[in-house]
Amino acid sequence: MSSENFDRILKDAVAAQDVPFVVAMSANADGVTYSGSSGEAAAGRPASENTVFRIFSATKAIGSVAAMIMIDRGKLSMDTPVADILPDWNKLQVLERWDGGTPVMRAPKTTATIRHLATHRSGLEYEFWNPEVGRYLEATGHPSVLSGTKASLNYPLMYDPGDRWGYGPSIDWLGQVVETLDGRRIDQFCREEIFDPLGMNDTAFEPDAFADRLSEVRARGEDGNFVPFDLAPPPQPEVYGMGHCLYSTAPDYMKFLRMLLNKGALDGQRILSEKAFAEMLEDQMEGKTFQKMVTIAPPVTADVELPEGTTHSFAAVRFEADVPGRRKAGSQSWAGVCNTHYWVDPASDVAGLVFTQSLPFVEAPYLRTYEAFETAVYAQ
């Protein structure tokens, strides 16, 4: 398939207002196989390889790799109790019920581990996915994790650690584990251990250097058209949340994905040993599976549905069956709330990303674009 066909998919998506703009790339272990863009990343500024995105939860895989580096160095294990490194974890209680407007809390019955954090089985959930969390924040005045304060990390547990999948700020805690064990703040750690070795020079925790290249977030209005929407990670936070804090470009993020295709190394720079890398991509759910995420904030996100039996590795959602005409079993995938999606398919030696800045997350029009692009990559 020629690059013109890929270009057409992107142009058609923008013309149909399925996305406000888009940058898409595909690659294999050896290099980039396609790169293209369409639409305006901001008023009067065409989208391009240089466009900078708020990647939000696409940050999570990088936070998980940071923790895996500590495991690789023997400073941590997947079964280490979180509270052994972060004693504040023991302050967290499970929300059992409500007594009128007062939350009734209890101690958790199980011990949360590093593996629970990495696979979203810690008990922590975001307020977008669990109405009880939002109710708790409102009743207690507890700040959202997007406030960037250290205290904001202390969400109530919604279930006992290990019980089930529940999507929330677990990777923010994982980043704090890395900071505490290593001594460097997480932004310095990521720069020195991940970004610099991989040549990710356009990935950063603050957007100041990218003001002239930063894209605009747009939300779909009731009339179906996109309107500007102000959403960004908190600047200069007390704690950099590794669940949401990064800015990056498509080429930079593709370097990270190609490191995954190359079993923990890129261009002669090894981030992880092959043994640690293999362990990282295995199913780490201990018999549990991904559960459908039902939105309570439709303007922000649609429901998140994945094939039954989908699991989670130490780094990302893991597909346990082939998707016909697309990714193979063992593929890893996730995304940021403003629709910065990626997948890595080691069995096929394929990685891809489809980045925009739009809400709602995983709305059907965006998913059409993603599916069309991914299908074209495999048809090639």
Listed residue (230, 374, 376) closest to 300, CA to CA:
230
Residues 364, 372: Cα–Cα separation, whole Å: 12
Q: Which two tokens stand for residue 257?
A: 């994905």
CA dihedral 218, 240, 209, 212 (to 10 degrees): 0
Burial 34-44 (b: 16+ CB within 10 A, else e): bbbbbbebbee
Q: Do β-strands 311-312 and 269-270 pair in parallel, antiparallel, or remain unpaired?
A: unpaired
- Non-local (6+) Cβ contacts of 367 within 8 A are none
Listed residue (53, 335, 10, 57) closest to 344, CA to CA:
335
Residues 50, 201: Cα–Cα separation, whole Å: 11
Residues 166, 307: Cα–Cα separation, whole Å: 16
Map residue 224 onto helix, strand or coil: coil
| Catalytic annotation, residues | 57, 60, 167
| Other beta carbons less than 10 A from residue 323's beta carbon | 17
- Non-local (6+) Cβ contacts of 70 within 8 A are 76, 177, 178, 181, 182
